[in-house]
A and B are shown apart, each in its own frame.
Chain A
Amino acid sequence: MRGMILAAVVALAPTAGWAQGVYGVTDTSIRVAVQDSLSGAYSQYGVPSLNGVRYVFDKVNASGGVNGRKLEVVAEDDGCSPKQSVGVATKLASERSVVAVLGLTCSSAAVAVRDAVAPTTAVPFMSFSSGGYTSSSSQLGGLKPNFFFVAPSVHAQGGALVNFAMNVLQPQKVAFIGQTDVYGKEGREGVDAMLAQYGQKIVADETLESRGTDATAQILKLKAANPDVVIAFLYQVPAQILLRQAEDLGLKATIVTSASVTDSSIYRSLPQSALTHYFGSMLARDVLDGPRMKPMMDEMRAKYPDVTFNPLVVSGVGAAETLVEAIRSLGKDVTPEKLAAALDHITNLNSHALSYPLTFTPGNHAGGRGLSIYRIVDGVETLAMPGYWSGDEKASAPVAIE
């Protein structure tokens, strides 16, 4: 008897989504999941982006919704874990209770879901991670019809930093330091590829553990190569160690970091003298308290006072605005298949937060194009110049967007 009841429960489980309409679409509402790291040690990755999505949906709903339907957010915590992410995504796909899934900021989780879940469902996924180059490359088998990335790939970030450095800093010698992982490896490949277009090669190539306690040897080797610019693909902790020790050990080169340095703790922990020759990069069109972002951030901070926002919030805003545009283009007939097809035709979409316009095509699901650059002035992050530096092609100036 117990077996029969269990069989009946299992058989009826997929129909649970009908309560909210097929794939979360009813006459009055559309449900979208945000699956990300929302608690624990990695919650700083997911919580700001989740609230960026909520902010956009609330604004859309306040103005009447999309074609008469209100947008609803279903928040799911994946803990930044590939295993947990696959479980959550599988549940969302099998329940058929949401029309799309946003989030997946952690690259490893995004790649796991892309490979294990995306091929089994029509539901489109839009990841905030930077796994785009290898994760969506058709040559490497990563391109999936229903999996999209809103951030520029790590490879493209490398290209963007080289374009900035070569045009603004005009170095004779460029050195590289990256983490001892795929992040550092892909960043190095991007820097290498774009530097080649300027007829240059990296003069020193160093690596640093993501949890290393010291960078003396790396800095001394960089110093010996006498570079004008050092491009760094490091997370927060090693980036802070590099900046602090570079000054102590007399490395005079300008240091430019990739977009993973998102927390202002790093600048407040260092004297201004260690930041004089430093540039950071980001996906956002401005620093959070800069004139192009502050009005939006003030609204968000007032609306979600318990959330500590960081620049990752722009991925949530950008992805949500892109999704809204795709849903709007479908009219009343919203299905996961049609939504994925509509995303494939998003072209030059300017969000209110990202520094670059998003474009997806059937052959390219990495929508991000480049990075904007900031510097630290009197301890405050300040946009160095408006616009984004392209990561895909050689550029002589940043591209300004509306």
Chain B
Amino acid sequence: MLPQLLVAGVVSGAIYALVGLGLVVVFKATRVINFAHGSVILLGAYVCVTTVDRFGLSYPVAGLLGILVVTVVGLAVSELAYRRLLTAPHMIQVLATLAVANIINGAATIIWGASSYHFPPSERLRPVMTSPVVITGQQLLIVAAAIAVMALLAAFFRWTRWGRAMRALSQNEMGANLCGIRTSRVFAIAVTMGTALGAIAGILYAPLTLVDPGFGWLLIKGFAAAALGGLTSLSGAVIGGIILGVCESLWIAVLPALWAPSLSYLIVIAVLLVKPTGLLGTPVTQKL
């Protein structure tokens, strides 16, 4: 039983981690918690499931299309809304993400309605291994994607010009500006990247469930994973997600599931009480 529970926990954790990574990328560059992240997760899943179910595209093609569409939406939102709030107080920026979430959710309901959408049955969703543990192709894909996305993001932040610019901006905005880093450009890149990551999370998880207006609820789990990891750490978000997923799985094995969500969040609270910056996070100062 234990190996299977660990597999289930790691897969759930990888989903949470993928969601958390999108939050971390935006927070790392802007110090803003993006509450619109759940909406872009939903949007990515809707676009992908629609193009597979209605237009008969293959899952990989539909997935890429979903990422592209959502990335364009992210860029548009950044230019139309967030860019104009660069100098606004931090709280206003956070509220702006809530407003964007409501607008995207409303638009999605107008386009897709309130019904549930589904991916057709596929061999990818069947077990590729049945002993010693059962694991499906989609589950493997989710875990592999979480690792790959984390590695690519780590490389981006470490070795690319814009990645370094994001880190510089998050550490010292005035200093970064004096060095010629354009806040607006960095902000736009971070939001767009975060949006694309949200789409990836939604597209990878959607085939395992139904897509309906409540799908963006994954934001809560992703936020818990990111907070546990430290909000600024990519590897922290992945580790946080895996811890959360495995804990949930193991709690349910020994206790009623009724307690599982609460106990998992108690772990998050306990860690943050002992180490307020999270497992791998760094201290930050916030403008108010």
Contact B127 A41 (CB under 8 A): no
Decide: A207 and B134 in contact? CB cutoff 8 A.
Answer: no
Contact of B116 among A241, A248, A266 (CB under 8 A): A266
Residue of A nearest to B251 (CB): A217
A249 near B4 (CB under 8 angstroms)? yes
Give A350-371 interface residues, CB cut-off 8 Å to B. Answer: none
Partner of A40, one of B109, B115, B217, B252: B109
> How far apart are the CA atoms of A236 and B217 in the complex, in Å?
15
A237, B210: Cβ atoms under 8 Å?
Answer: yes
Between A and B, 5 residue pairs with Cβ closer than 8 Å are A44-B113, A206-B256, A212-B257, A221-B252, A265-B210
A209 touches B212 (CB 8 A): no
Count contacts between A and B, CB distance < 8 Å. Answer: 113
Interface membership of A270, Cβ < 8 A: yes
Known A180-B258, A209-B261, A249-B4: A217·B134 in contact at CB below 8 Å: no
CB of A108 closer than 8 Å to a CB of B: no
A213 touches B209 (CB 8 A): yes
* CB of A337 closer than 8 Å to a CB of B: no
CA A249 – CA B260 in complex, angstroms? 21
- Shortest CB distance A376–B (Å): 13
Pair A265/B256 contact, Cβ less than 8 Å:
no
Q: Is the CB of B253 within 8 A of A214?
A: no
Q: Do A41 and B109 touch (CB < 8 A)?
A: yes
User: Could you say which interface size class chain B belongs to?
Assistant: 35 or more
Binding site for B on A (CB under 8 A): 39-44, 180, 205-209, 211-214, 216-218, 220-221, 224, 236-237, 240-241, 244, 248-250, 263, 265-266, 268-271, 308
Q: What are the residues of chain A within 8 A of B8 when measuring CB–CB?
A: 214, 216-217
Q: How far is the CA of A250 from the CA of B217 in the complex (A)?
A: 29
B121 pairs with A217, CB closer than 8 A: no
Q: How far is the CA of A224 from the CA of B134 in the complex (A)?
A: 16
Q: Are A217 and B261 in contact (CB under 8 A)?
A: no
* Cα of A266 to Cα of B256 in the assembled complex, Å: 26
* B5 near A41: Cβ-Cβ < 8 Å: no
- Distance of A84 from chain B, by nearest CB (Å): 16
Q: Which of A214, A241, A268 has most B Cβ within 10 Å?
A: A214
For the complex, give the distance between the alpha carbons of A213 and B105 in Å: 21
Asked if B117 is at the interface (CB within 8 A of a chain A CB), the reply is yes
Residues in B neighbouring A244, C-beta threshold 8 A = 125, 208
Please give, as numbers and ranges, the residues of chain A lying within 8 Å of B114 by CB-CB distance.
40-44
A263 partner residues in chain B, CB cutoff 8 A: 115-116, 210
Cβ contact within 8 Å between A248 and B127: yes
Residue ID in chain B nearest A39 by CB atoms: B109
CB contact between A236 and one of B106, B116, B119, B125 (< 8 Å): that residue: B116
Chain A residue contacts of B74, Cβ below 8 A: none
Using Cβ atoms and an 8 Å threshold, which residues of chain B touch A237? 116, 209-210, 212, 214
